[in-house]
Amino acid sequence: MWGGAGAAVRMSTLLAPTLREVPAEAETESHRLMLRAGLMRRLAAGIYSHLPLGQRAIAKVEAIVRQEMDRQGAQEVRLPLVQPEELWVESGRSAKYGEELWRLKDRHGRPFVLAPTHEEVVTDLARREISSWRQLPLILYHVSNKYRDEPRPRAGVMRAREFVMKDAYSLDRDRDGLLAAYARMRAAYARVFTRCGLDWRVVEADPGTIGGGDTLEFVALADVGEAEIVWCEACGYAANVERAEGARPAEVEAAEGADGGAAGPVRIHTPGVRTIEDLVAFAGIPASATSKILFLWAEYAPDGRRELVAALVRGDRQLNEIKLANALGAVRLGMADRADVLAQTGAPVGSAGPVGLRGARLLTDLEVACGGAFAIGANQEDWHLFWAKAGRDFDPGQVADLRLVGAGDPCPRCGDALRGANGVEVGHMFALGAVYSQAMGALYRDDQGRSHPIEMGCYGIGITRTLAAVIERHHDRDGIVWPFAVAPYHVAVVPVAAGEDGTREAGERLYAELRGAGVETVLDDRDLRPGAKFKDADLFGWPLRVTVGRTLRDGAVELRQRRGGLTERIQLGGAAAAIRARVAAGLGETEPPPGHGSQAPDAPGW
Ligand SMILES: [Zn+2]
């Protein structure tokens, strides 16, 4: 990570416009600091110009990613950002992506899209260039801007419309080859995020619009993160809450205190009861002994067909819409309004229930379907059924795991209580299998001349998002606290006049020496008060600050570490060598030990 003699700069010439005020548009600390420390500026909603310091930090993350990709034998390519839309129609993703896919037309009216990712382009390349088993396996990767027309860009580069991403694609002969590539990429990702100084977890996730089978998400822990994850300390199970499985309840547990030994549901007059809270207050039963029905419109590809869906979950649970969409095979869900529900089913929303429900497709969460008896609406205003049981009193329809799992819920593997945290999704990998190669006809011939679809995997790292996650984790009230591995520069030499002669010259000499030694150095040669320079140095977050000032009369300079604030005197003679050694040690801090991140694919993620 030595930048060479050129990687040094004078502050007086650097475009790094700082802001004293916290910009109103910024909601997260990383967003605020990337603006305040002059790393980037907004051009349009979710679209940013990265200024020299931001670009250097991005390049550091990219360099780490490239090293780890190359270490695993992946080959770098550069793929087009403008792609013919017909490829996306062929793969079926044009409809699935919907409005997020940024569409444009060329002068002849031919439709194109701005790349949100490159599965289609790589599959197209594979079907043209790969014909024999001898050409496999292969892992290709590239680093480029990506485009997603987010409905609500926010948090700076965390959820931007243009962002930098590394995406990789593995091409294999069979499932075993794919799993080997998947394990190698997982090991590479573990090293990348550790080297960037992140506290991360790897969790099971939902494949979403990518499709295919297994998928893992790498999540950097951060309170502001949009990703919610749960994990089990006992057995290592870890998942995004979008994906986290509900533990299958024991029959007795679900029925606890609710069955009352009744032989069938009991119809009870419940005047004014509309919500679960009302029902709990009215009947004096826990919310877990009630269930509720939610009505949604489900939309299907490719014809846009819609149907009204009724999802039944326990009264104290939340519906996980992603699980519901997956159970249905729907591309989109939307809440149905009261009027639609009444018109279609004849049931008022606050009193709807599964017994005798018509006009909507019923799905029942397995917790409700598994045995217990629940209080539920009777499809008539002011009436509820008590001790209603799936299977006995109503046909549960499609039974599926539909509820949102959170911290404190039992682990689906071992039953221990799950822990939860928020985080930023910085990496994602998918064992796609033959989804794309079959849809687009990417086939190879084996040694017997038989034709097979290529087994594919895809692997993304949000580069700019990783950078934001690094800042979320490494900052204090004064500014950024860069880990050495991604700091735009490692050392700031800050001459402060303070009535002393020769500080400027001594600063210049030290700067030249550090520069000559290949240390990435900033010289604060601006005509500012010491306090202003120190404040800026803290905001910029240089890992080391060398103050050339008062101590010069003793032939010494002051070396201060940004992290922890430890300050010490070092002799000016030999200072460059001492600082260089500190930088080397700092760069080693986040270097994973040998063998780290090369665990078997089925080992727990941390
Ligand atoms: Zn567990």
CATH number, domain of 562, equals 3.40.50.800
Distance from Cα 245 to the centre of ligand 1, integer Å = 11
Q: Based on the domain organization, do 311 and 376 belong to the same domain? A: yes
Neighbours of 522 (CB within 10 A): 25
Distance from Cα 410 to the centre of ligand 1, integer Å = 8
Distance, in Å, from the CA atom of 182 to the CA atom of 430, rounded to the nearest integer, reads: 8
pLDDT grade for 3, boundaries at 50, 70 and 90: very low
Mean pLDDT of 514-530: 94
- Reduced to 3 states (helix: H, G, I; strand: E, B; else coil), residue 539 is helix
Q: Is residue 434 part of a domain?
A: yes
| Residue range(s) defining the domain that contains residue 64 | 54-222+428-472
Mean pLDDT of 35-44: 95
Q: Is residue 209 part of a domain?
A: yes
pLDDT at 606: 35
Percent of the chain with pLDDT over 70: 93
Mean pLDDT of 584-600: 73
Distance from Cα 416 to the centre of ligand 1, integer Å = 5
pLDDT at 234: 93
Distance, in Å, from the CA atom of 265 to the CA atom of 268, rounded to the nearest integer, reads: 9
Neighbours of 525 (CB within 10 A): 18
Bridge partners (DSSP) of residue 569 are 558
Maximal C-alpha separation, the chain? 97
Q: Based on the domain organization, do 109 and 170 belong to the same domain? A: yes
pLDDT at 71: 95
pLDDT at 210: 58
Q: What is the pLDDT of residues 297-307, one digit of tens each?
A: 999 987 889 99
pLDDT at 25 over 90: no
pLDDT at 252: 40
Distance from Cα 418 to the centre of ligand 1, integer Å = 7
Q: Based on the domain organization, do 542 and 584 belong to the same domain? A: yes
pLDDT at 209: 58
Q: What is the pLDDT of residues 562-586, one digit of tens each?
A: 999 999 999 999 999 999 999 999 9
Q: Is residue 47 part of a domain?
A: no
The domain that holds 261 is classified in CATH as: 3.90.960.10
pLDDT at 52 over 80: yes
The domain that holds 64 is classified in CATH as: 3.30.930.10
Q: Is residue 556 part of a domain?
A: yes
Q: Is residue 283 part of a domain?
A: yes
Kind of pairing between the strands at 291-299 and 306-314: antiparallel
Distance from Cα 239 to the centre of ligand 1, integer Å = 11
Average pLDDT of the residues of the chain = 90
Distance, in Å, from the CA atom of 169 to the CA atom of 255, rounded to the nearest integer, reads: 48
Looking at residue 354, what DSSP letter applies? S
Reduced 3-state DSSP string for 407-453? CCCECCCCCCECEEEEEEEEEEEEEEECHHHHHHCCEEECCCCCEEE
Q: Based on the domain organization, do 281 and 381 belong to the same domain? A: yes
Q: Which residues contact 542 (CB under 8 A, 6 or more apart)?
A: 482, 487, 489, 490, 491, 492, 522, 562
Joined together, the tokens standing for residue 116 give 């949100």
pLDDT at 259 over 60: no
Long-range contacts, stretch 528-537, CB < 8 angstroms, 24+ apart: 530/494, 530/496, 530/497, 530/498, 533/494, 533/496, 534/494, 535/478, 536/11, 536/18, 537/492, 537/494, 537/562
pLDDT grade for 500, boundaries at 50, 70 and 90: low
pLDDT at 410 over 60: yes
- Is the whole-model pTM more than 0.85? no
Q: Which of 400, 417, 448 is the last residue of a domain?
A: 400
Distance from Cα 87 to the centre of ligand 1, integer Å = 42
pLDDT at 155: 85
pLDDT grade for 254, boundaries at 50, 70 and 90: very low
Distance, in Å, from the CA atom of 557 to the CA atom of 599, rounded to the nearest integer, reads: 45
pLDDT at 261: 53
Distance, in Å, from the CA atom of 307 to the CA atom of 424, rounded to the nearest integer, reads: 34
Distance from Cα 233 to the centre of ligand 1, integer Å = 7
Distance, in Å, from the CA atom of 352 to the CA atom of 380, rounded to the nearest integer, reads: 7
**What is each CA distance from 561 to 93, 121, 497, in whole angstroms?**
50, 47, 21
Q: Is residue 408 part of a domain?
A: no
Higher-confidence position of 134 and 242: 134
Higher-confidence position of 58 and 211: 58
Joined together, the tokens standing for residue 603 give 């080992």
Distance from Cα 366 to the centre of ligand 1, integer Å = 19
Distance, in Å, from the CA atom of 493 to the CA atom of 559, rounded to the nearest integer, reads: 9
pLDDT at 369 over 80: yes
Distance from Cα 428 to the centre of ligand 1, integer Å = 23
Distance from Cα 249 to the centre of ligand 1, integer Å = 15
Question: Ranked by mean pLDDT, which of 71-80, 93-102, 237-246, 591-600 comes out on top?
Answer: 71-80
Contact of 440 with 472, CB cutoff 8 Å:
no
Q: Based on the domain organization, do 64 and 198 belong to the same domain? A: yes
Q: Which of 94-108, 220-234, 339-353 has the lowest average pLDDT?
A: 339-353
Q: What is the pLDDT of residues 65-91, one digit of tens each?
A: 999 999 999 999 999 999 999 999 999
Distance from Cα 420 to the centre of ligand 1, integer Å = 13
Q: Is residue 347 part of a domain?
A: yes
Distance from Cα 413 to the centre of ligand 1, integer Å = 5
Long-range contacts, stretch 267-271, CB < 8 angstroms, 24+ apart: 267/378, 267/383, 267/384, 267/385, 268/383, 268/384, 268/385, 268/386, 269/382, 269/383, 270/382, 270/383, 270/384, 271/382
pLDDT grade for 420, boundaries at 50, 70 and 90: very high
Q: Is residue 412 part of a domain?
A: no
Contact of 456 with 171, CB cutoff 8 Å:
yes
Q: Based on the domain organization, do 580 and 560 belong to the same domain? A: yes
pLDDT grade for 314, boundaries at 50, 70 and 90: very high
pLDDT at 455 over 90: yes
Mean pLDDT of 104-131: 96
Q: Based on the domain organization, do 370 and 440 belong to the same domain? A: no
Distance, in Å, from the CA atom of 532 to the CA atom of 93, rounded to the nearest integer, reads: 53
Per the listing, tokens 């950024």 go with: 480
